[in-house]
Amino acid sequence: MRHISIEPPPFFHRGPSPLTRLAFFGLLSLALLFADTRYRYLENVRQVVAVALYPLQRAVQFPGEALGYLGTYFASQQTLASDNAAVRQQLLAQAPAVQGFPLLEQENARLRALLGMAARFPETATAAEVLYSGRDPFSQKLFVDKGDVAGVQIGQAVIDEIGVVGQVTRVFPYMSEVTLVTDKDHAVPVKVERSGLRSVMYGAGTGRLPELRFLSPNTNAEIQPGDRLVTSGIDGTYPAGLAVAQVTSVERETGQVFARVTCKPLAGVERDGQVLILSRAAVSLPRPDEPTEADAPRKGRGRRRG
């Protein structure tokens, strides 16, 4: 007969008491929390564990992918035909713009040359598939299936067919983590497409709409609900001119220093399947030197004028 699962009486030696163990592991976790948030010592450990877990994550994807594959395999003739027609129509609709593009590009290059500006780096991009979205309700993150091996780097912008999704914040060998523009305090430098007004869009976290901060309430005509926001490109992370969001409301309260502007991301930030990782734009110009003490004699005195 097999032995029966009954606890031994407590006078047998059973190692340290649960409370001791809890205290030990509790302190260890607090130390880890501190080391990870303050100093980021543990990124290497994270990399190793992430690689070990990767096969498991792919395995989870498999049933869904297989189902999707079967679904498309058995798609009816009619769906395919109608899809084809729609795509053809779309192609036709875009034809004028596409045909005009080389001309515009040449013209643009000439104008830029005239202005003496550096030509924009021809951008390459990596297509990636979304593995899963972080389960964490506190942060807005995606995991995509291209990583270090595919040449992805931290800080690259991620877009979908409509607009900006976010940027790469962590790179593992076979996957990378993308922080969405809706993540709390994720900042994207934007400008209003219609008026050229520049601002910064800050994510507000799960379930809340991002907002533009530090806009003066006097900018009456320059921003209105319905305006499209595009990247301004001044941060060197996001190339200029990508669609980001649409303004949903502008509240101007006379008592406030800044207007309260909320906007809605355009890209399918929370429901994408495929995304594009843009390579870094041209090597950004070196930062100007920090002003030395002699240059800034009255530092911290008086109000800064901007």
Q: By CB under 8 A, tell whether 207 contacts another protein.
A: yes
Kindly determine how many residues on this chain lie close enough to bind another protein according to the rule CB under 8 A: 55
Q: Which is nearer to another protein, 11 or 218 (CB)?
A: 11
Binding characters for another protein, 164-193, by CB under 8 A (x = yes): ------x------x------x---------
Answer whether 157's CB lies under 8 Å from 237's CB. yes
Q: Which is nearer to another protein, 152 or 230 (CB)?
A: 152
User: Which of 18, 96, 116, 286 touches another protein (CB under 8 A)?
Assistant: 18
- Please state, in angstroms and rounded to a whole number, the distance separating the CA atoms of residues 206 and 136: 10
Amino acid at position 175, single letter:
M
Instruction: Look at the chain and count its residues.
Output: 306
User: Which of 155, 173, 205, 233 touches another protein (CB under 8 A)?
Assistant: 205
Binding characters for another protein, 20-59, by CB under 8 A (x = yes): -xx--xx-xxxxxx-xxx----x--xx--xx--x--xx-x
Q: Which is nearer to another protein, 146 or 191 (CB)?
A: 146
Instruction: State in angstroms the smallest separation of the CB of 53 from another protein.
Output: 6
Q: Which residues contact 217 (CB under 8 A, 6 or more apart)?
A: 252, 253, 254, 256, 257, 258, 259
User: Which of 13, 271, 298, 303 touches another protein (CB under 8 A)?
Assistant: 271
The DSSP H or E segment spanning 201 is: strand 198-202
Tell me which residue of 147, 168, 148, 146 sits closest to 157, measured CA to CA.
Answer: 168
Q: Which is nearer to another protein, 177 or 227 (CB)?
A: 177
User: What is the distance between the terminal CA atoms of the chain, rounded to a whole angstrom?
Assistant: 85
Under DSSP, the state recorded for 295 is T
